[in-house]
Amino acid sequence: MVDISGSGEDGHEEVASFYEAIGGAETFATIARGFYRRVAADPVLKPMYPEDDLGPAEVRLRMFLEQYWGGPTTYSEERGHPRLRMRHMAFAVTPDARDRWLACMTGAIDDAGLPEPLRDEFVDYVTRAAFAMVNTFE
């Protein structure tokens, strides 16, 4: 994990969460919004979302990412444990869907303009998560 510590005004070391280091709620909202803008245009991914309005999915993704990266724990408070694989088992997540999902997510992360190496750490996590979600092989 990237070292995001620094010295506070009193000279003591302060450690910012990744959530804070990349800009907090505004950055995560930008990423979730950019991701679902791309999903809405993808002919393979869009049918996996039962809601015509992707807004609720966008909120869930934002809350999940915020919690994972050290922000508010709203996701677990409202939805319980993330259980990513279990929640995605109802969908045929193929290698093609994984790659499309990852392209949408990477594009959204890039839109947020994260500084290196924080961008790389975020992309590394979503890449590992995307590969773990594959449950159907063509």
- Please name the residues in contact with 104: beta carbons below 8 A apart, sequence gap of 6 or more: 35, 38, 39, 42, 45
Query: Closest by alpha carbon to 106, among 124, 93, 91?
Result: 124
pLDDT at 3: 47
For the chain, 138 residues long, give each residue's pLDDT as a single digit of tens: 554 555 455 555 566 899 999 999 999 999 999 999 999 999 999 998 877 789 999 999 999 999 999 999 998 888 777 676 656 566 788 999 999 999 999 999 999 999 999 999 999 999 999 999 999 997
Domain boundaries, the chain: 23-133
pLDDT at 2: 55
Phi, psi of 15 (to 5 degrees): -115, 115
Residue 6 DSSP class: E
User: Look-up: residue for tokens 């996996």?
Assistant: 48
- pTM equals 0.85
pLDDT at 92: 84
Candidates 2.30.40.10, 3.30.300.30, 1.10.10.60, 1.10.490.10; CATH matching 23-133: 1.10.490.10
pLDDT at 7: 47
